[in-house]
Structure 1
Amino acid sequence: MRLPRIFRTTPFRLTLLFLALFASAASAFLAYIYIATAGEATRRTDQEIRREMRSLVDVYDRAGVDAVNQSLIERASSEKPFLYLLLTPDGRRISGSIEESPVEDFTGAPAWATFQVTDVDAEGRTVRHPARGLQQRLSGGETLFVGADAGDDEAYVARVVRALWASAALVVLLGLAGGVLVSRNVSRTMVGLIDVVERVRNGEQGVRAHVRGARDEFDELAQGVNDMLDRLERSMAGHKHAGDAIAHDLRSPLTRLRARLETAYLDVEAGKGDPEQALSQALEDTDGVLKTFGAVLSIARLQAAGTAPDPVLFDPADLAADISELYEPLCEEKDIEFQAELTKELGVRGNREFLAQALSNLLDNAIKYTPAGGAIMLRVRRRSSGEVEYSVTDTGPGVPDEDRERVIQRFVRLENSRSQPGAGLGLSLVAAVAEAHGGRLELSEGPGKVGEMGPGLRVAFILPRA
């Protein structure tokens, strides 16, 4: 038979475990209380018996056996009578409240005995009580026994034990009730979380766990599950968007590649084209598609992740110096003046590889559109807001103000750039890198128009403070 769910929950099992531990501890405590209480009652009875015995021995020493006999008769009728027995030296009973001594094999040394006494209660029933007594020989040879009924002490100990057992039983019952209540509340909360997980597993991405507002560990767990589901939903949406974007963005380059191959094939077939030149052009176009695919994939991954992977803390001036060493010779070949103003020891946190790619794209664009005799400036500085700024300024044709937001979109190429190679993805990748680092990209006019040059373009890559 399968137990109800509430009795199979971990909190209820823990409750049973704690109750078992409590019952074990309570049993040991009750045993200690019983032993201590019973021992104290026995010691108190023994002290009273010794005191009574000394009193009677003093009477005997002062006035003899007749005085002891008379004292026994008087004391037997007192409010709390002891049990007495006075025997002759040869063992015959002289007087007392019991008929014979409970001490067996008496040798003359003081001896203790525990025995039972018979009595009649208020309802006329015969009852037996435990008793305890001390027997010793008097100086004249007589034997005196003094005992006491221990029934009241035993009843007191029994009442204490019953009260403790009742308390323990009440605590166990309350513990079970509390365990059931706690298990029910925990089970209700956990069932809700399990239901959320099950629904998500069945494809419901928008379902979320209920946060009760109690600010306990279950609310923290529910909030954590919700955060995890939010990130999972964003990640899945990002991957779906990345796949759609890659499929969409590669359609045009692949279509152009196929058209060129088809044209080259028809020309060669008609004897109008050079097969080697057609194959070389096809390879060049294929490399362009692969480069486009790599750029689109990088942008999609960054947008899907939301943040740059593997960020590290580094000096942005060091990265800019490394990039400058690569691009300064290219500028010299094209007769372009290249300068770098790098403020050191600023510190940014980010993915060095992605940031290097972004700077490379900015410098590639600047070199591509800056004519011979122009100039390019690479700067690293801290803005008044505390942000760190990379900027690349050139003296090329620039970008009109109305096109500056559009130019960072994928595959957007302005009219003055149609003659230049490229797919229109450079600034898109830079913008994606900036966004993944919590930064932004700003485009503004360069140094202005000077003769044939200008007005130029200034692209600022802004990163938050580390």
Structure 2
Amino acid sequence: MEQGTSYVKLPKLLRTSAFQFAILYMLLFAASVLFLLGFIYWATVGFMSAQFDETIQAEIQGLAEQYRRQGLRGMVSVMNERVLNDPQGESLYLLVNSDLQPLAGNLNEWPALVEDEDGWIGFYLNRSGGRFAAPHMARARVFTLRGGYRLLVGRDIFDLFRVRELIERSLTWGVAITLGLAFLGGVALAKSTRRRIEAITHTSRQIMQGNLSLRVPVRGSGDDFDELADHLNRMLDQIEALMAGVRHVSDNIAHDLRTPLTRVRSRLELLCQKDLPEDARGVVQEIIGEADQLLQTFNALLRIARIESGGYSANFSEVDLHGLVADAVELYEALAADKSQTLSLDLAQGIIVKGDRDLLFQAIANLLDNAIKYTPVNGNVGVRLRAFDQAVISIWDEGPGISEDERDKVVQRFYRVDKTRGLPGNGLGLSMVKAVCEMHKGALELRDNQPGLRAEMKLPLPKALPAATATEQESAGKTPALPG
């Protein structure tokens, strides 16, 4: 049985380049601190160990001098004198016979596990009484004297181990604090960088949705992000100017061509009234139909241009969406009936918005026209009206739908999906709906209906007219489905 690869998705902050760079810097910095503290540890402990060895060596030289001058008795006398002067001191002495029986010194017994060879040794010291309650390490040098005697001269290195433990704890805490501070610094740096990037990303998304007047915010600090934002804003200035030029040219073309095209249509109407052969009359009427389609395209283009530029003199008033949607559906009942389609309605009552009734009606009509056009014969077209925090008009069909990567493009002027190019239309319907929604401070959202497309007009509700709850909307009743 195959198992898919599973992984835990990291939070967005931890996946940022800034955070990863900060972690890398933290590790390098921690390694540097660890190396520095390790060197301090090695130098300090090594220096103290050398000092202990030098002290032991100096005491050995003193005892050796007494041994040469006065023999074993003189050396023992010096050892006893030193022990009496500092009975719990750090100096350690022990003289034993060949049977390792203590003869002199401040140690009770010969250290266990010490080899017979002379040289430096380390052993656990278990001194009775004094300031040491537990066994600890000592360091000494062992000699074999004439007669089988053995001499041990050393130092209690408890203080050395205390210093070593102190340095080790300091090293551990130092590395931990360094890592912690570096981690917090990395998080702060990543958050700061993330905020700057999110500001650019947020602005970019709004610009991609069509608001070319926005610009990337600049802090004025003169850093790399400000430089990037400045270059992006200059690029956006050029893009906005180019797009404005394209709109201006297309609007002028539509305006300039509409008048002569209207004249041509009028003359064709006059020509059609004359006594013409039947085949010629059919050709003229076909030309008139083509002219009407061109005029509709030009009128739609000019209306969109006026809405987007703010030049449209909208007549805003309170609009009952239930009645408005019902009127639009009634207008398209016959068209749906021609294709044996079923119009399924679910319209809540009492939803009022502030808007231009004519524009809202045209937008709803455009969505209904598209839904009926792209839904196959005997298919279903649904219309729903609800309001919660905003009014939502949903119209869905059972047509070919629109892929997710093309949903942002179909609201552009003249854009048409390849699989629907054979159907009548000019590619301005959704552009018109989007412009109307944005004029009313709303939005147009396109979703997958599986199958087909679901278009949702979202319009803000007046503050003085809160939306009805879902229960109230349900109790208001639903408009029944209208058979095609």
TM-score by length of 1: 0.49
Q: Looking at CA atoms only, which structure, 1 or 2, has the larger radius of gyration?
A: 1
